[in-house]
Structure 1
């Protein structure tokens, strides 16, 4: 028992001194993004990248591991309600993605899969919500492709090559790339 306690104490001490932890959370304006990696004070960042509205309500929180987006990311409306929830694995958007209307109803929900050939990522199990005359209706689609778009509506690269602030505008097109299922600007 004494040996186990000693080893545990040693590991905790060793980890504390050798794994320089820069911060638990850092505001986006303090983060540098280069070559697909997030840095804080010239070191690869580990922690959460955050930003706040003028009223100091949390605007977003993105988890980062070894300089790459990894885990659940959440964006919020100015009133604090969740705007979107998405999952990343080593900076690639992958898994559940849900976008909400301000009233909490689903605007878009889908599963992000592999990269599509060229640009975008394949999405499946798509639910698109609409609010019309105060009623929430949904449409369902099997597959599509999500494309992140820039300020001029140009299609950007896949998620792992795009800075997080450029991942707020997107559109989902059908498999044939002929019809837009939803566009978020």
Structure 2
């Protein structure tokens, strides 16, 4: 099968089986003629490695599918210049394990533990110079829980907070002691 843009350039190319389902190599193109997607289908479902491309020819997304069109394994997302932006893992279509986000320079920006498609576990955010900016734990999504710590770009601690299960955080230590929650002045937190 082949479909085309109004200007006549190829939009997509693929084969179909006797039931009309995509089977084998699938290619889609930008109107300019450059490759947009390269993947493989079996019975109309993705299988194997799928590549999505920027129009400049660099890979935008690389991901793996197992039989049945199930997203499994490492997925990489890239910046337009080819530098890795995000690395994440899927297991049976669910985001799980350590998700890593990078600055355009290639330096680590964030590491987050994922479970059931949500942030769930320890996380660390970094300044581009490599210093830790935030460290804590997420609970069932983007909700900080437990101890949450912040540093400046030179590595100097700024504050420490305790967050409850509703992601309400209270500062119990701050480099400027006037910014400490009054409760903790009377009841010091001891980790």
- TM-score normalized by structure 1? 0.54
Q: Quick check: 1:22–1:45 contact (8 Å CA) kept in 2? A: no
Which of 86, 99, 102 is the equivalent residue of 1:100? 102
* Superposition RMSD in Å: 3.3
Match runs of 1:65-80 below 5 Å:
65-66=66-67, 67-80=69-82
1:125 aligns with: 122
Secondary structure at 1:49 match in 2: strand
Q: Quick check: 2:79–2:85 contact (8 Å CA) kept in 1? A: yes
2-side partners of 1:93 and 1:27: how far apart? 26
Which whole-Å deviations, capped at 9, do the CAs of 1:145-180 have from their partners, x for residues lacking one?
43xxxxxxxxxxxxxxxxxxxxxxxxx331434369
Q: Which has the larger radius of gyration?
A: 2
Secondary structure at 1:174 match in 2: coil
Q: Quick check: 1:145–1:174 contact (8 Å CA) kept in 2? A: no
Which whole-Å deviations, capped at 9, do the CAs of 1:84-121 have from their partners, x for residues lacking one?
100000100011210111111222102212x3xxxx52
Match runs of 1:152-167 below 5 Å:
none
2:131 aligns with: 137
Gap regions ≥5 residues in structure 1: 1-19, 32-38, 147-171, 181-185
Structure 2 residue 53 is the aligned partner of structure 1 residue 52: yes
Higher RCO, 1 vs 2 (CA within 8 Å, ≥6 residues apart): 1
Q: CA shift at 1:136, angstroms? A: 4.2
Secondary structure at 2:122 match in 1: strand
1-side partners of 2:27 and 2:49: how far apart? 6
Gap regions ≥5 residues in structure 2: 1-21, 30-35, 146-164, 170-191
1-side partners of 2:103 and 2:119: how far apart? 23
2-side partners of 1:110 and 1:86: how far apart? 10
Q: Quick check: 1:50–1:62 contact (8 Å CA) kept in 2? A: yes
Q: Quick check: 1:26–1:48 contact (8 Å CA) kept in 2? A: no
2-side partners of 1:87 and 1:75: how far apart? 11
Greater fraction strand: 2
The count of residues paired between Structure 1 and Structure 2 equals 121
1-side partners of 2:99 and 2:62: how far apart? 15
Match runs of 1:9-28 below 5 Å:
22-23=24-25
